[in-house]
Structures are given as structure tokens and as C-alpha cells.
Amino acid sequence: MEGSPLERLEGTLEKIRFYGEENSYLVGTLRSRDGKAVTIVGNFPPIQVGESLVVSGDWQVHNRYGKQLAVNHWERLIPTTVEGLKRYLSSGLIKGIGPVTADKIVGHFGLDTLDIMENEPHRLQEIEGIGAKKAAGILKSYGQYRDVQDVLVFLQGYGVGVGQAMRLFRRYGSDTIRQVRENPYRMAEDIFGIGFKTADKIARQLGLPEDAPERIQASITYALSRAAEQGHVYLPCEVLFVRIKELLDVSDGVLPEEFLEEQLRLMVRQKRLFCEKQESGEAVYYAPFYQAEKGTARMVLDLSRLARQYSNLEITQALGKVKHDNSHLTDEQLEVLEHALHNGVLVVTGGPGTGKTTTIKTLLTIFQLLKQKVLLAAPTGRAAKRVTEATGEEASTIHRLLEYTYTDGEGFRFQRNEKNPFDARIVIIDEASMVDLMLMYSLLKALPPGCRLIMVGDVDQLPAVGAGNVLKDLINSGNIPCFRLSYIFRQARESMIIVNAHRVNQGEMPYLNVKNKDFFFIHEEDPEHAAGLVVQLCRERLPNYGPFDPLLDIQVLTPMRKTAAGVDRLNLLLQQALNPQARDKVEAANKGTIFRLGDKVMQIRNNYQKEIFNGDIGLVTAIDREEAELVVTFRDLLQPRPVVYDFTELDELVLSYAVSVHKSQGSEYPVIIMPVLTQHYMLLQRNLLYTGITRARKLAVLVGSKKALAIAVRNNRAEDRYSLLDARLRLGECD
């Protein structure tokens, strides 16, 4: 009964009644050694029916399910049956052994299997299909598996999932437990997916006091890092302190503000933080962002002053030839060309159909006439591929331009920098609204003295996913030449996508009842019915109308993740409709998401080692359960490329039949479908609706209510980001 002494049981997992991928919580039936069936509950890694376990915990009585053992410690036992051995080896954690290989190995060696793997590992090559290379891989993984068991057991009570534990192990190796014990807060900084709350829970259970300096300093760092993920370069001190207290879940009496102030000042003295007095209060920066903001302002101002000046004759001849060969250029575009020849830094902005791409093509021509080497780049592979197709000139991603590669002793880093700059006189960046502060800083460091920088983008779109609002700050500073292209070309005026995008951007309702072929509004106020309509459009109506491929041509965009017509729900419905379960479709699961052969998926964090970045979309083209690997072919990069993921890395992927509007930045799709409902009111903003519409190249379909559209059109209150780049540029800071 509840309150009884700690119970220890050995047995076989007979049944799994429930397993929550999100929190690893299991409800199952354990058949104990004396034959009794016991209900057990607790946090477990992925585990198979038939596995032998030893568990310990406290008895409790559930008001509905009766007596059960709340497990606080468990261990896998070495299996003692053939079936148990097969399950043990094919659990997915030993790379190279899936169900088929496990069956062969145990079928050949029987109950001696583990003894042979330990003492006569060369004998694995007796198994058909296992050569020396595969045997070595299996044994290496088996050794790591045994080591990682200790880590899994240690972390199981703290809510750290298997994928996260494996990441910790890959980062710290056999030193994982010591590292976590010494400073649990390192996990929140070093490991994707582990937040401050998880690290803090471990630290508190390990005995770290509530007011420990390490705890306060970790909360400061984490709060600033989280703010950066929300787009902020710094936080006002009073805002930072509020967020820290929320993180620590303490009141002023328990943790006086003077103590927070003391720890903050200590971190400033250590140069981990920087503070600046402002009229509105004190700005607190995490050190990398302070250096990036100051450095960006300094280098932009230097570039604007030090660019090479062309002679009047060179300018006259180049402009004359371009005007002669391009009589369709507007006065706005000609003005851009002239200023590009006189200024070291230039910003060009404008909405769809205003000739930004034509302007880039003409800039390339004019600098080629001057025999100047030009580099053309964009923040993402999708955007770089599009600008290559539009201009006929090769463009790359900024990361590839900066040559992000591995160096012995230094790890992965940009190879292009102030010590190894580009060999170029002009750098043109398209889709510049997507460039965040840290990427801008890295780019600027790689520009040689006298180089020209031209930033082209649509400042009215959603800002960059990362910290900062670089394009807007450059424009708002008033210290950098900026040109807004406003003339909409005749061909563009014939597209209702472009006409309505500009109407939305000007605060006007889009035309909804005009007969056209590229913009449709379907009225539906009920979120459930709207979700059903979206599925119907993807599966039947639009493929028949186009024809459009549901996976390659159609992209569903939605303002929110949750809700009936949000990203998560629509992905489940669309997966079921477009890529249903079938015998010939292999699957892999992670945190409640089923990844199926043929699924459309998206990378959700920058992975520099794989050269795949947040927002890249591809198709699952292979799943190997033996090797515990999944392959995604990313088709929207400069070149289609297969990328291999270990099963423990699957939390970097999500289904992408539907994605958020924010994740669609820098992309264009033949067709977009976008639900716009009052249920999404929290995120119904003008720039979000505008960004969504402008992602469509051939057809845009909105599903929702006129009321929701009106809310979005009227709401021009773009979320402010804490940044001082515009002020530094305006004041001419260059120290």
C-alpha cells in the first residue's frame, strides 16, 4: 500500500498499456519471477515487450487503476531466453542490429550470443551478411550501448529523454555523468532540446541550494539565450530580472534583487555579459551578441566609407551601356545602379513584382562591365537556388560562401573571416530580411577592405528567425543609402497574388471576389471544417485543377502550431491523407511522431555538420531499421542531396506537409494554402499575412473568414525586437 517500504521486483515486461513519447512515461504490466502480474508506472526509454527488468519504487493506489508500483529506478537484465535476446539486440540502440540481424545472430549462437560478442567478437562474421566492417561497427555500437546504459539509468528520473541522453553521451562520452553532476546547467547550453527547467531539476535534486551562484548565473545566461531565440539582441535589465524570477519560480523575499544584481555584475566583470546605459534603462547583452552588434555597426560604417571609387568615365560608360541594353529599367532602378557605383553599402527593398530580381541582374551586368568580381548569395539553399535560376548567375548560401568546415583542434567554424577574406570586390545578398545579426557579423568579417555590400530584400516581410532585425535597422538608421522599389510592373499587376499582397501591405483588404486564376478565398469559419477543406484541396481539388503535385508543388502555411487548423494537427491529417500507412512503407518513431517512407519533413535547427539548416524541406527516401538510420533527400537545396540521420537525431525533424508562416521565409512554392481563422487571433498580423501570400508563385488559396482577414490587415503592430544596431549606425559608432 501507499507508504510501504521501497519495493524491488524482477520480471518480464508482459504488456505496454501506454507509452508517452513526449515524456517517456510508461504504464505497463510486469510479470514477476513468482508469476504475479504487477502494474508499473514511470519514465523509461523506448522498451520492448518481453524485456527482462529489475525495478524498484513505491507502492501507490490509483483511484481508477488500483495498486501500482511507481518506479524510480530500473535496469535492464541480461536476457535469459532466446526471444529476450532477440528483443535486447534489436531494441534500436545497437547500430547495425535490427530485427532481421538479431534473429540471425541469436539463431546461430543461441544463449551464448552475448558471451561470444564479449569474448570472441570475430565470430560475428560467421553470420551471413556480416563482414569485417559491419562486425566492427556492431561491436563499437554495442560497447557504446553498454556505456550509455549507465547514463540512461542516471538520467531516467529527471525526465531526460533517450534522444537527449544520447546527445549528452555523444558530447561528453564516458564522462557524461561526472559532467552533469559537476554542472547540470551545461546541458541547457550545450544540448539541443534540454531546457533550463530540466537542468535545474537535476541540480536541485543533486543538492544545489536555491540561491547558489551557479544557478543564478545559469538562469541569466538561459534567459538571454531564450530571448535571442525570440529575436532579441539584448534585454532591458528589468525585463531580464522578471524572466529570471519566472525561471527560478521564486519571489523577491526568497531571492532579493540585490543578489541577482551581484551575480550579474560578477558576470560583467568576467566579460560573459555586457551592460550599456540607455535612456530607458540598462541593456544587458550576452557577450557574443554585444560583440556582434558593435562589430556589425563598425564594419558597416567602415565599408560605407572605404569602398573603391570608380572614375567618372568608368561610371558613364557602364551606365550608358546598361541603359542602352535595358530600356525597360525604371527611374527607381537606374537610381539604384548609380548609387551602387558610389556607395560602399547599399540597401534595396521592395515588394513582389517591383523588379528586385531584375535590379540584381542589372547590378551583376554593370559590375561585370567594370571587370569587378561579384559574389551572389542568400541565407538559405532555397533562396540561393531561386536567385540562381532567376539571374543565370551562380549563387550560394551565405554559410557555404563562408566555408563552414571542420578544422582539427578548432572544430566546425567559418573558414572565411578577417584573416582569410573573400576574393571579391562586390557581394550581393538576396532575401536580406532573413539575415540575422550573428550571420551578418560573420559575413562582414569576411569582406576585404574596399569591398561593396548590397543587401536586397523585402523589409515588410517577417524578420529573421534569429536575433536582430538587420535589414530594418540598416534602413531605420538613416545613415545607409536605402532605396524602396515601388513601381509594380505590368505583368506583375496581372497577378492577383501580387495585387492582393500589396493591398494587404498597405492596410487594405485583399480582393476576394474578383474572377482570376491565381488567388482564391474559400469562406469557412469553423476550424474543423477548415482543416478538412485544406486536406481536400491538397489531396483532390488542386491536383486536378493544376495539375499540382501534393508533395512537391503544394505547401500548407498556417499562423500557429496548435489549434484545429494549426501546424501539428494539419500535419497528422495530411500525412494520413497523402502518405497513409502501408505494408511496404517502413516507419520510425520519435516523440510521438511517426516518420514514414515518402513523408515530407523539415529540419528545425541548424546542423552545420550536415550542412542542413532550420527550415530546409525534403522527403524521407529511405529508412534502415537494421542500421537505425533514416535518409532525407533535400530537394530545395542548390543540388538535391541525401542526408543520413541516426534514429537518435530524429528530434531535429518534423513533418512539413504544413509549416508555420515563419518557417516559410525565403521560400517560394507553386501553390500555398493558408487557413486564416479567428482562432489564430494571437498571431494574426499584417506582415504575417503578407509574408504568407507572397510565398505563392502560381496560386494562393486562403481558407477562413473575412473577419480573421480583417483582423490581420488592421494589425500592423509588428513585435518589436530589442536591438541597438540602428542607433549605433545612426550615431556613427565605430569603436
DSSP H or E stretch at residue 632? strand 629-634
| Cβ contacts of 471 within 8 Å, gap of 6 or more | 347, 349, 432, 433, 435, 455, 457, 459, 463
- Nearest-angstrom CA–CA distance, 383 and 731: 33
Angle at 307 between CA 302 and CA 312, to 5 degrees: 150
C-alpha cell at 419: 584573416
Residue 291: the pLDDT is 96
Nearest to 520 by CA among 670, 665, 672: 672
C-alpha cell at 438: 550573428
CA dihedral of residues 375, 379, 382, 384 (deg, nearest 10) = -10
- Nearest-angstrom CA–CA distance, 257 and 678: 41
Sheet holding 617-624, edge to edge: 641-646, 629-634, 617-624, 600-603, 653-655
Report the SS3 class of residue 269. Answer: helix
- Nearest-angstrom CA–CA distance, 73 and 80: 21
Nearest to 39 by CA among 66, 58, 19: 66
| Cβ contacts of 131 within 8 Å, gap of 6 or more | 125
Residue 542, burial from CB neighbour count under 10 angstroms (0-12, 13-18, 19+): buried
C-alpha cell at 383: 533562396
Whether 162 and 118 have beta carbons less than 8 Å apart is answered as no
| Cβ contacts of 692 within 8 Å, gap of 6 or more | 557, 559, 661, 664, 672, 674
| pLDDT tens digits, one per residue of 118-139 | 888 889 999 988 888 888 888 8
| Cβ contacts of 730 within 8 Å, gap of 6 or more | 477, 478, 479
Give me the count of residues in the chain.
Answer: 735
C-alpha cell at 459: 523589409
* Tally of CA atoms within 13 A in the half-sphere of 194 that contains its CB: 26
Report the SS3 class of residue 378. Answer: strand
Residue 2: the pLDDT is 45
In the chain, what is the straight-line distance between the N-terminal and C-terminal CA atoms, in Å?
A: 70
Residue 195: the pLDDT is 78
Whether 51 and 43 have beta carbons less than 8 Å apart is answered as no
Q: Are strands 52-62 and 66-76 parallel, antiparallel or unpaired?
A: antiparallel
Instruction: Look up residue 457 and give its amino acid.
Output: G
pTM score: 0.80
Alpha carbon 88 to its chain centroid, in Å, reads 34
Q: Calculate Rg over the CA atoms of the chain.
A: 29
Residues with pLDDT less than 50, the chain: 1-3
C-alpha cell at 320: 550608358
Report the SS3 class of residue 423. Answer: coil
Nearest to 364 by CA among 433, 432, 425: 425
* Tally of CA atoms within 13 A in the half-sphere of 228 that contains its CB: 19
Which neighbouring-strand residues pair with 590?
593
For 20, 105, 106, 116, 628, the CA distances from 90, given in Å and listed in that order, are 21, 11, 11, 17, 10
- Nearest-angstrom CA–CA distance, 412 and 111: 45
**Grid-cell match 513585435, residue found:** 719
- Nearest-angstrom CA–CA distance, 562 and 267: 38
C-alpha cell at 242: 522578471
Nearest to 254 by CA among 264, 263, 267, 245: 245
DSSP H or E stretch at residue 106? helix 99-109
Whether 480 and 453 have beta carbons less than 8 Å apart is answered as no
Would you give the DSSP letter of residue 424? -
Question: Beta strands of 33-104 (E only): which ranges?
Answer: 37-43, 52-62, 66-76
**DSSP letter string, 131-157:** -HHHHHHHHHHHHHHHHHHHHHHHHGG
Whether 579 and 598 have beta carbons less than 8 Å apart is answered as yes
Peptide bond into 547 cis (omega under 30): yes
DSSP H or E stretch at residue 242? helix 237-248
DSSP H or E stretch at residue 499? helix 496-505
**DSSP letter string, 556-600:** EEES-SSSTTSHHHHHHHHHHHHS---TT--EEEETTEEEETT-E
C-alpha cell at 249: 519560480
C-alpha cell at 358: 531584375
**DSSP letter string, 314-354:** HHHHHHHHHHHH-TT--HHHHHHHHHHTT-SEEEEEE-TTS
- Nearest-angstrom CA–CA distance, 685 and 679: 13
What are phi and psi for residue 3, nearest 5 degrees?
95, 0
Q: Give the Cβ contact number of residue 161 at 10 Å.
A: 25
Whether 465 and 614 have beta carbons less than 8 Å apart is answered as yes
- Nearest-angstrom CA–CA distance, 405 and 380: 17
| Cβ contacts of 454 within 8 Å, gap of 6 or more | 340, 345, 346, 347, 348, 363, 426, 427, 428, 429
Whether 678 and 197 have beta carbons less than 8 Å apart is answered as no
Query: Which alpha helices (DSSP H) does 341-436 contain, by range?
Result: 356-369, 381-391, 398-401
Whether 535 and 577 have beta carbons less than 8 Å apart is answered as yes
